[in-house]
Amino acid sequence: MRALKTCINAALITGALATAVAAGPVAAAAHAQSSDHIVAGSDNTTPLAKEAAGLPKVSPSQLLKLAESQVGVRENSLGGGTKFQAWYMSSPRARETVARDGGSTADYANAAWCDMFVSWVGNQLGIRPVLGWDAYTVAHARWFAQNHRWGTTPKPGAVVFFSWSGSKSIDAIDHVGFVIKDNGDGTIKTVEGNTGNGVVEIRTRPTSSVTGYGYPYYTASDSA
């Protein structure tokens, strides 16, 4: 089994890391918001409120049900072969990120796929415009911050961004997944793609390794 390939490697393959360093004012503005405590919910001030109009009604529990149904999906010995990578390579977003970062769409075939998994789940449910899609975790986190959906509170269905160094800087993000629940003991239960053994798994993670959370603008609520 190959060594763990964190999701930042997808950016290194396509040259996105260098692009991110000099990403300009939009990324800088997003980064400046990275310490904000933006609470998930029906906040109509977010730019995503307009995007949500006309989308399917999807709640956090519905998203987690789909994400958890993928547990056990595994990459091949080269680090590729998943439906998440195949979907991303064929998507318009792959061409957009290649234009942004360099490389070619073929580079995604064996690239780290944790964010492709997150993006695939949103796409399957029809809520991609309010969850975002990317192969590069840093860019995806910035997207949440730019859209005023970034914070530090773990919530079911939130997109959780990790830095294995414990950094709270968006630029240091290594990995991404979904929050299933806050365990209330300094850990969270998550579902993630491209874990250490190249598979979709449910994990328990310390919150000390979390950089922050992106809150999709869900179109339905789990509240009674």
pLDDT tens for residues 48-66? 999 999 999 999 999 999 9
CB atoms inside a 10 Å sphere around CB 197:
11
Residue type, 161: F
Other CB atoms closer than 10 Å to residue 30's CB: what's the count?
A: 22
Amino acid, res. 82: T
* pLDDT of 6 above 90: no
DSSP β-bridge partners for residue 212: 161
Say whether pLDDT at 22 is over 50.
no
How many folded domains does the chain comprise?
A: 1
Give mean pLDDT, residues 107-118: 98
**pLDDT score for 80:** 97
Mean residue pLDDT across the chain: 86
**157 located within any domain:** yes
Work out the average pLDDT over 190-209: 98
- Per-residue pLDDT at 197: 87
pLDDT classification of 186: cutoffs 50, 70, 90: very high
Is 107 inside a domain boundary?
yes
Q: Above 60 in pLDDT, residue 28?
A: no
The answer to whether residues 11 and 103 touch, using CB atoms and an 8 Å cutoff, is no
Structure tokens at 135: 């192969």
Phi-psi domain of 118 (left: phi exceeds 0; alpha: psi -120 through 50; beta: other): alpha
115-167 pLDDT tens trace: 999 999 999 999 999 999 999 999 999 999 999 999 999 999 999 999 999 99
pLDDT at residue 29 in the model: 33
Task: For residue 67, give its domain range.
Answer: 8-17+43-214
Q: Spell out the residues 6+ positions from residue 33 whose beta carbon is closer than 8 angstroms to its own.
A: 145, 146, 148, 150
Six-digit token string for 209: 């390794």
Residue 94 lies in a domain: yes
DSSP 3: P
Question: Is 89 part of a structural domain of the chain?
Answer: yes
In a domain, 158, yes or no: yes
Average pLDDT over residues 26-45: 41
Please give the model's pTM, rounded to 2 decimal places: 0.85
Is 151 domain-assigned? yes
Give the model's pLDDT for residue 223.
76
Q: Is the pLDDT of residue 37 over 60?
A: no
In this structure, is residue 223 part of a structural domain?
A: no
Q: Please, how many CA atoms are within 13 Å of residue 218, restricted to the half-sphere of its CB?
A: 21
195 pLDDT tier (thresholds 50, 70, 90): very high
Answer yes or no: are the C-beta atoms of 33 and 145 closer than 8 Å.
Answer: yes
Read off the CATH number of the domain in which 119 is found. Answer: 3.90.1720.10
In a domain, 220, yes or no: no
Rg (CA), the chain: 16
User: What is the arithmetic mean of pLDDT over 179-193?
Assistant: 99
Share of the chain above pLDDT 90, in %: 77
Q: What is the pLDDT of residue 224?
A: 54
Who wins on pLDDT, 47 or 169?
169
